[in-house]
């Protein structure tokens, strides 16, 4: 299994349950966090509260705790990285050292954390049916993989879990009045619309929390916007392109250092340096902005047909 991200750490324990042995070959390690597959507090709340209320309480708890953990890791990267490594070390067998296999070269949340439900990856490692090798691939051979260190890994099957290729708008070609719109040149208004492009919204979620949290907010905001158009008889709306150009230096819309993000960054829309052209990774701030702030904020331009 080539890779060390979410796909690899999910597939390794699943394959180890049936294969005689699985090796996770990684060029560089990732931060890995083990969590129970079930939330005991959530189960208790569901037993005590009505379904709708329990859902809101659990959702609120998860949002607040996720936000706190993210802020803590970003503000105290050295200390939190030590804590993460110690937790991993406590679950490894003696045959697998935490360094170099679980000591990343970056700070927590420079890339996404890999979540291991019920510590199944570590159970597979302790069982002896899985192990980890940290090295670079020199070449494939008829019998496996030759590494730059000179070691050779024998393999019956090689699975490449080596990342994604991100494409803006699913590769749809965009144009306005016959002029092509290049996604990589656009600034994202509230992470949802684009300067100078009318009646177009997309959905991009959080990298530090559930993707669907921001997807929900984006959907609700678009519904508010459509209702505003209908109520006032407008045919279209468009974020002011001049405001976008004054929003400061463009930055990647997804602020992670993962390889697949950096490779895709030139072709993805950008964010600016100030609101409403920033892509905040904070649900509580976005909740107030996208559900309750005025739709006609002076940046959006509205017009009737003709």
Query: What average pLDDT does range 106-111 have in this prediction?
Result: 88
pLDDT of the residue at 260:
79
Average pLDDT, the chain: 89
What pLDDT band is residue 26 in, cutting at 50, 70 and 90? very high
Place of tokens 């890791």: 73
Average pLDDT over residues 76-94: 93
Tell me, what's the pLDDT at 231? 93
| Residue range 24-51: mean pLDDT, rounded | 91
Give yes or no for residue 161 having a pLDDT over 90: no
First to last CA, the chain: 58
The pLDDT value recorded for residue 98 is 92
Statement: residue 163 has pLDDT above 80: no
pLDDT band at 2 (very low <50, low <70, confident <90, very high): very high
Q: 268 pLDDT exceeds 90?
A: no
Model confidence at 196: pLDDT above 80: yes
What gap in Å lies between CA 80 and CA 63, rounded to an integer? Answer: 20
Mean pLDDT of 176-181: 91
Instruction: Determine what percent of the chain is predicted with pLDDT higher than 90.
Output: 49
For residue range 210-256, what is the model confidence (pLDDT) as tens digits?
888 899 999 999 999 999 999 999 999 999 888 877 777 888 888 88
pLDDT computed for residue 189 by the predictor: 92
pLDDT at 298: 86
Contact between 184 and 269 (Cβ < 8 Å):
yes
Residue 37 CA to residue 10 CA, distance in Å, equals: 13
Has residue 112 got a pLDDT over 90? Answer: no
Distance from C-alpha of 178 to C-alpha of 37, rounded to nearest angstrom: 51
Give per-residue pLDDT as tens, 5-16: 888 889 999 999
106 Rama class: left (phi>0) / alpha (psi -120 to 50) / beta: beta
Instruction: Give pLDDT, residue 223.
Output: 95
Output the pLDDT for position 15. 94
**pLDDT value at residue 211:** 86
* Res 257: pLDDT: 80
Cβ–Cβ < 8 Å for 251, 270: yes
**pLDDT for the residue 92:** 93
Q: Is the pLDDT of residue 169 over 90?
A: no
SS3 257: coil
In whole angstroms, how far apart are CA 288 and each of 7, 82, 292? Answer: 34, 35, 5
């Amino acid at each position: 299994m080539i890779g060390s991200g979410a796909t690899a750490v999910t597939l390794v324990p699943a394959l180890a349950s049936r294969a005689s042995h699985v090796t996770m070959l990684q060029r560089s390690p990732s931060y890995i966090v083990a969590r129970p597959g079930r939330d005991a507090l959530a189960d208790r709340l569901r037993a005590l509260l009505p379904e709708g209320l329990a859902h809101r309480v659990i959702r609120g708890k998860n949002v607040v705790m996720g936000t706190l953990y993210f802020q803590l890791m970003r503000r105290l990267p050295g200390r939190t990285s030590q804590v993460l490594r110690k937790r991993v070390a406590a679950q490894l067998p003696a045959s697998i050292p935490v360094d170099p296999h679980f000591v990343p070269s970056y700070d927590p949340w420079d890339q996404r954390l890999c979540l291991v439900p019920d510590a199944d990856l570590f159970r597979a490692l302790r069982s002896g049916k899985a192990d980890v090798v940290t090295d670079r691939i020199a070449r494939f051979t008829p019998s496996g993989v030759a590494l730059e260190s000179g070691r050779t890994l024998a393999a019956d099957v090689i699975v490449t879990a080596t990342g994604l290729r991100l494409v803006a708008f699913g590769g749809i070609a965009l144009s306005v009045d016959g002029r092509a719109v290049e996604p990589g040149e656009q600034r994202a208004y509230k992470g949802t619309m684009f300067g100078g492009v009318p009646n177009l919204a997309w959905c991009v979620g959080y990298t530090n929390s559930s993707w669907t949290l921001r997807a929900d907010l984006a959907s609700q905001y678009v519904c508010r916007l459509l209702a505003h158009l209908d109520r006032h008889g407008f045919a279209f709306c468009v974020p002011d392109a001049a405001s976008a150009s004054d929003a400061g230096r463009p930055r990647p819309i997804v602020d992670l250092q993962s390889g697949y993000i950096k490779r895709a960054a030139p072709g993805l829309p950008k964010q600016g340096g100030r609101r409403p052209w920033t892509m905040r990774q904070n649900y509580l701030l976005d909740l107030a902005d996208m559900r309750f702030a005025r739709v006609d904020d002076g940046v959006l331009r509205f017009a009737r047909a003709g």
